[in-house]
Homo-oligomer: A and B are copies of this chain.
Amino acid sequence: MAAATSINTIDPRDIGTPDDWIPRHSEMVRLTGKHPFNAESPLSLLMDQGFITPVPLHYVRNHGPVPKLHWDIHRLVVDGLVSNPLNLSMNDLENLPYKEFPVTLVCAGNRRKEQNMIKQSIGFNWGPAATSCAIWKGVPLNYILKLAGVNLNDCVNGPRYVCFSGVDKLPNGFYGTSIPLEWSLNDVNDVILAYEMNGERLTPDHGYPLRVIIPGCIGGRMVKWLSKITISNKESDSYYHYHDNRVLPPEFDAERATKEKAWYNPNYIINYLNINSVITSPAHNEYIPLSSFFNNQMYTLKGYAYTGGGHKITRVEVSLDNGKTWLLSKLDQPELVHPAVLKRRINPIPRYWCWSFWSLIIPFHSFIRCEEISVRAWDSTQNTQPRNPTWNVMGMMNNCHFRVKVNTIPQGNEFRLVFEHPTQPGNNPGGWMVKPSPKLITSKPSDVSTINSQIPTFTINEVAKHNNEKDCWIIINKKVYNCTKFLKKHPGGTASILINAGKDATNEFTAIHSTKAIELLKGFYIGNLALLQSKL
């Protein structure tokens, strides 16, 4: 289907959630159940849009409910180590000089599901579409900082940081993070406070009315619903600055990280994007009848690639023989000729903020002896992607070679080559990394005997009565849990449990939770679901 550039209807899944006022595209794949809204476009649909992603199909990462803000009331405060504190309205900001240019945003968790197939991380199942590209317009951050009387000489006696805070109140306080002042002041880095996306005011999911855009950097630093900028000699003190967007060495699990304070090790912060590339054609489950091989047809392999820090993707290579040899693909870099880029001051631009597309035309018969198609990109730092993933406890920055398996499957009286991606996003089934019997929670509660007559059973109707903040039961894999006492401790916020209160939350739960959460859940077990529903 063609993507609408704007959406007016409320998705039924949002009814009953705090976000029931926000129109959303029905095809977005939801990765954390109904709420909060964390979603990516189906990969092929995203690619069909080309260089610029329509707003409704742009990936979204929300930690909690979307704040309801108003252009005329919203203010931006700039304080801390500044000689001239500011308090600006949106109209003030809109009347300042601006920059407008395309930027590819990427969540640090892009392609996390591949890592979760090795071992569940503490993050949810992003597929390879946690990236999108839009035209962003906003005030250069360095302009605002100069208005506030900040300059590079302030760094003489030590580092300075620009701390951003949003208005979204979460279980561990406001979402916030920081970047070095030097980075913010350097005009070539193009950090802006954006109020427009693709030529229109931001939508609520993308930070309306104001968010930070830091090109070349992970999405997690680009604070949405921005209300405060504080200049400090310390990094942001937000819980999320330290407990999110980190890559810990593979030997760390969450417990050890907390015990050894690894979350605070400055070596483990993620700022720049790393090099990445993905195969989008063939798509998952796309197939070619073997009969096609007789007519000399060609196939065009396609995909995207991006890198961080303003570096340029310099080549993308494809292997059809498990990495023994690599074929040079054709690179398409629309950024280089985009009108919004060409009309900017420096031409050709010395920084690259957008994804590239690659393609390679091969004869069908190349697939005959091909077990898998893999892709890797290189950038102007002469670095490339590793072949294998390195698991880390947050499941972040996965950039191993993207490998699509080529399977031969009988169909009617002929054979097909069927392509298989490593995973599918969220709870969607399929993918060669998905083990035949996934370790879902089903295997876990088996240590609680289901035939022990001491264990109470509850009907669905009984459970349904416990559906509020003071009395909240949920059903997961036919077990009943009383989560009332846990509501306020839940890292995803009270709302994300409450929308499932009194209901079966198996899908929502298994989509996101780690072994640790599964263990924790056991403490709230109160009985089993009555098996004979029809009796009641």
- Residues of B close to A18: CB separation below 8 A: none
A373-384: CB near B (< 8 Å → 1, else 0) gives: 000000011111
A390 with B381: in contact, given A156-B346, A314-B268, A328-B251 (CB under 8 Å)? Answer: no
Return the contact of A159 from the options B325, B346, B388 (Cβ within 8 A).
B346
Are A350 and B390 touching (Cβ within 8 A)?
no
Are B272 and A382 touching (Cβ within 8 A)?
yes
Q: In residues 253-308 of chain A, which contact B (Cβ within 8 Å)? A: 267-268, 270-275, 308
Copies of this chain, how many? 2
Residues of A in contact (CB 8 Å), total: 49
Cα–Cα, bound, A155→B345 (Å)? 8
Q: Does A327 belong to the interface (CB within 8 Å)?
A: yes
Q: Does A386 belong to the interface (CB within 8 Å)?
A: yes
Q: Does A371 belong to the interface (CB within 8 Å)?
A: no
Cα–Cα, bound, A382→B271 (Å)? 8
- Residues of B close to A385: CB separation below 8 A: 386
Q: Does A491 belong to the interface (CB within 8 Å)?
A: no
Are A270 and B382 touching (Cβ within 8 A)?
yes
Are A388 and B390 touching (Cβ within 8 A)?
no
Cα–Cα, bound, A314→B272 (Å)? 13
A205-231: CB near B (< 8 Å → 1, else 0) gives: 000000000000000000000000000
Say how far A159's CB is from chain B's closest CB, in angstroms. 7
A388 with B323: in contact, given A182-B350, A271-B380, A383-B381 (CB under 8 Å)? Answer: yes
Cα–Cα, bound, A271→B379 (Å)? 11
Q: Does A410 belong to the interface (CB within 8 Å)?
A: no
Q: Does A19 belong to the interface (CB within 8 Å)?
A: no
Are A315 and B159 touching (Cβ within 8 A)?
no
A→B interface (CB under 8 Å): 155-156, 158-159, 180, 182, 186, 188, 247, 249-251, 267-268, 270-275, 308-309, 312, 314-315, 317, 323, 325-328, 331, 345-348, 350, 380-388, 390, 397, 399
- Chain A residues touching B, majority SS: loop
- Residues of B close to A271: CB separation below 8 A: 380
Say how far A380's CB is from chain B's closest CB, in angstroms. 7
Cα–Cα, bound, A383→B188 (Å)? 22
Cα–Cα, bound, A158→B387 (Å)? 38
Are B323 and A381 touching (Cβ within 8 A)?
no
Chain B residue nearest to A378 in the complex (CB): B247
A156, A158, A249: most-surrounded residue (chain B CB, <10 A): A249
Cα–Cα, bound, A159→B314 (Å)? 19
Say how far A294's CB is from chain B's closest CB, in angstroms. 29
- Residues of B close to A267: CB separation below 8 A: 312, 314-315, 331, 380
- Residues of B close to A309: CB separation below 8 A: 309, 381
Chain B residue nearest to A348 in the complex (CB): B159
Cα–Cα, bound, A385→B274 (Å)? 12
Cα–Cα, bound, A387→B381 (Å)? 17
Q: 13 A–B contact pairs at CB < 8 A?
A: A182-B346, A186-B186, A247-B382, A249-B315, A249-B317, A250-B325, A250-B326, A267-B331, A271-B380, A273-B382, A382-B397, A384-B386, A386-B387
